[in-house]
Chains A and B, each alone.
Chain A
Amino acid sequence: EAEVAQSPRYKITEKSQAVAFWCDPISGHATLYWYRQILGQGPELLVQFQDESVVDDSQLPKDRFSAERLKGVDSTLKIQPAELGDSAMYLCASSWTNTGELFFGEGSRLTVL
C-alpha cells in the first residue's frame, strides 16, 4: 500500500539551529500539505502546494519557516532558526484532489531545547 514518507521521525535540536524535514507524497498526488500539531491540539495547516506552486502559506511564519516542492513531487520544510515554541509534530499529507481525503505520513516530532 502506498504511503506518505517522512523523515526524520524524531529530531532534537537546540534553539537557534536550523532544522529540515522531508516528505515524499503518494505517487500521483498533486496536492501536498504541511501541518503542525502541538501536543494536545489538532493539526494546523502551515502550507499547501498544488504541484510545485504554493496555494496557501498564510499561516507559515515566513521569518523563520520556508517550504519548497521544486519538481512537484517531494517537499522540504525548513526552520531557521528554531525556537522553543517550534516543538511539535510536523505532519505531511497528500491527496489526489482537494476534497478533504488526506493521506498522512507518520510525522516528524521536533523537540527544541
Chain B
Amino acid sequence: AQSVTQLGSHVSVSEGALVLLRCNYSSSVPPYLFWYVQYPNQGLQLLLKYTSAATLVKGINGFEAEFKKSETSFHLTKPSAHMSDAAEYFCAVIRGSSGSARQLTFGSGTQLTVLP
C-alpha cells in the first residue's frame, strides 16, 4: 500500500532562514504526491501537488517541492521563512488503483515554528 513518512514532527527555523520539511514515499508505481498546510483550528489547504508532469513543483506562498525518484522523496522547501508560515504541514499520497476508489492518505505531519 502506498504511504508517506514525514521525518521530524517538529521543525524550528528563524525568520528569513530556509525551510526544509522532509517526506518520503513508498510506492510501487509513480505516485501522485501532495503537500497540505493546516493553520491552528482550521482545515487543510492544498500547497502543491506532483502529478508526474515536472519534478520541481511550485506552490502557493513561495513553497516548492522536488520529486526525486531515486530517493523516493518529495521534500518541501521555502527559501526564506516568514512568521505567517508557522503551521502544520502534511505530505500526502493517492492510494488505490483507479477511479472513485482512489483516496488521499496523509503523513503524520510536521509542525513548523518560525522564530523571530
Any B CB within 8 A of the CB of A102: yes
Point out the residues of chain A lying under 8 angstroms from B44, CB to CB: 43, 91, 93, 102, 104
A104 to B45 CA separation, bound complex (whole angstroms): 7
Q: In the complex, A55 Cα to B100 Cα: how many Å?
A: 7
15 new A-B contacts at CB < 8 Å, known A56-B101, A56-B103, A99-B32: A41-B109, A42-B90, A44-B106, A45-B105, A91-B43, A91-B44, A93-B44, A99-B51, A100-B92, A100-B104, A101-B46, A101-B49, A102-B46, A104-B44, A106-B41
How distant is B51 from chain A, measured CB to nearest CB, in Å?
A: 8
- Residue-wise, chain A 43-57 has the 8 Å CB interface mask toward B (1 for contact) of 111001010000110
Inter-chain contacts of A101 with B (CB < 8 A): 34, 46, 49
What is the number of residues of chain B that contact chain A, defined by CB distance less than 8 Å?
25
CB contacts (< 8 Å) of A91 on chain B: these are 43-44
The residue in A55, A99, A100, A102 that gathers the most chain B C-beta atoms within 10 A of its C-beta is A100
Interface string of B76-98 (1 = CB under 8 A from A): 00000000000000101010000
**CB-CB contacts below 8 Å: A6-64 with B:** 31, 33, 40-45, 48, 50, 55-56
The answer to whether A80 has its CB under 8 Å from any CB of chain B is no
List residues of A (46-88) whose CB comes within 8 Å of B's CBs: 48, 50, 55-56
Residue of B nearest to A48 (CB): B103
Interface positions of B from 1 to 59, Cβ below 8 Å from A = 9, 32, 34, 41-46, 49, 51
Q: Which chain B residues lie closer than 8 Å to A93 at the CB level?
A: 43-44
Q: How many residues of A contact B (CB 8 A)?
A: 26
Q: Are B41 and A45 in contact (CB under 8 A)?
A: no
Q: Could you say which residues of chain A place their CB within 8 Å of the CB of B92?
A: 42, 100
B108 located at the interface, meaning its Cβ lies under 8 Å from any Cβ of chain A in the complex: yes
Q: In the complex, what residue of chain B is closest to A107 when comparing beta carbons?
A: B43
What distance in Å separates the Cβ of A18 from its nearest Cβ neighbour in chain B?
24
